[in-house]
Amino acid sequence: MSLGPLLPGATLGVMGGGQLGRMFVHAAQALGYRTAVLDPDAASPAGLVSHHHIATGYLDEAGLATLADVADAVTTEFENVPADALRTLATRRPVAPAGDAVAICQDRAREKAHFGASGVPCAPYALIETPEQLAAVDGALLPGILKTARLGYDGKGQVRVADRAALAAAWDALGRVACVLEQRLALRLELSVIVARGGDGQVVHFPVQQNLHRDGILAVTEVPAPGVSPALAAQAVQRAGAIAAEMGYVGVLCVEFFVVDDAAGGLALVANEMAPRPHNSGHYTIDACDCSQFEAQVRCMAGLPLVVPRLHSPALMLNLLGDLWFDAAGTEREPAWAPVLALPGTHLHLYGKTSARRGRKMGHLTITAADAATARATADRAAQLLGLPPL
């Protein structure tokens, strides 16, 4: 179905009501669009700020029909929205990204096969769906990381395994569901690239981002990426674009890469995973770029022209997890925002979630400055004030 152009005044729908949907809604409304959110949670962050909130399950026929009635185009805010729901919506409205593309991102085995079809290397891996495949695993893949093929994110559904005995035990612990065993690589850096691809095949990209994860959850994003050469950054952008093009993708796509040593003594890029939506590592674009990843998402689904985003300020983004809402004794309290917001260049974004839980993404703090060194020093001070580990 043709994508737009849909001009401001039209209604843009989003499947999913979390923080990514909330920031999408804010971006769409800033451009003059009306918005509709489908999410079963009556208090979903995006639903609370949208013109329409359809509080049904993602496969509810009546809910999908209502969304198609009120929205002129639909997108998704996370990859685990059922692909079939997007396919159903696509019979009536433009949907970007398409259900078939989202289905690839929902399955690690299909995702890795897609990397290969795009000419992009990933870590050596094996699919494990049966006891026979488990027994036949190449010993060169150990030590490795066993990951569920579906529904894993932020470190969930992943187990580090050192040998065959640990691998068998881990597969049992994960319920013997379909899994992917990846060889554990010695990482130099973790990067991500966010690209936006229009229905006409035009691709624009945001700056390459350098990421730090703690316990499998993104903790810090830094832009410009301090450990990345222009040549390596260009290669990451090219590969992310190739991955999007191979899917005929329309929308915002984030591709995460590992940087590892190569056999010649240089550095090599290895694709880790991709997300068919704006990404946590791109939240800094709201404050540090002249077009955010969420505005790019609006432009893609509405068929508007894509502009090359410009980074106007070096930035660091600190993820704010629910742990910050608890003191050392486990008593819930509000973090001390005042001294943090007294620091120059700080931009606090809280997601409107009704309760804090440890490990739950509650917001983020972006620090911008005239130069990268100042941004990093200010971010380090903010982390200290909040009780976060040093950068």
- Find out whether 273 is annotated in a ligand binding site: yes
Question: Is residue 147 marked as binding?
Answer: yes
Q: For residue 331, count other CB atoms closer than 10 A to its CB.
A: 8
| Angle separating helix axes 230-247 and 108-117, nearest 10 degrees | 110
Give, for 147, the enclosing helix (H) or strand (E).
strand 144-148
Tell how strand 11-15 and strand 73-76 pair up.
parallel
* Residue 61 marked as a ligand binder: no
Is 185 labelled a binding residue?
yes
Q: Please tell me what DSSP assigns to residue 389.
A: P
* DSSP code string of 237-300: HHHHHHHHHHHT--EEEEEEEEEEE-TTSSEEEEEEEEESS--GGGTTHHHHBSS-HHHHHHHH
Is 197 annotated to bind a ligand? Reply is no
Q: Does the annotation flag 190 for ligand binding?
A: yes
Instruction: Tell me the residue type at 355.
Output: S
188 is in an annotated binding site: no
Q: State yes or no: 272 annotated in a binding site.
A: yes
Bridge-based pairing of strands 203-205 and 217-223 is unpaired
Check whether 112 is labelled as a binding-site residue. Answer: no
Task: Compute φ and ψ for 260, nearest 5 degrees.
Answer: -130, 165
Is 249 among the annotated ligand-binding positions?
no
Give the residue among 382, 326, 318, 389 at the shortest CA–CA distance from 355. Answer: 326
Residue 29 annotated as binding? no
Residue 6 structure tokens: 């849909």
Helices (H), 92-152: 99-105, 108-117, 131-135
- Chain centroid to Cα 265, Å, comes to 31
At 37 the three-state DSSP class reads: strand
**Rounded CA gap, 274 and 95, in Å?**
19
Q: Check whether 34 is labelled as a binding-site residue.
A: no
Is 267 annotated in a binding site? The answer is: no
H or E element at residue 212: strand 209-214
Binding residues for ATP: 108, 147, 152-158, 182-185, 190, 213, 272-273
Binding residues: 108, 147, 152-158, 182-185, 190, 213, 272-273
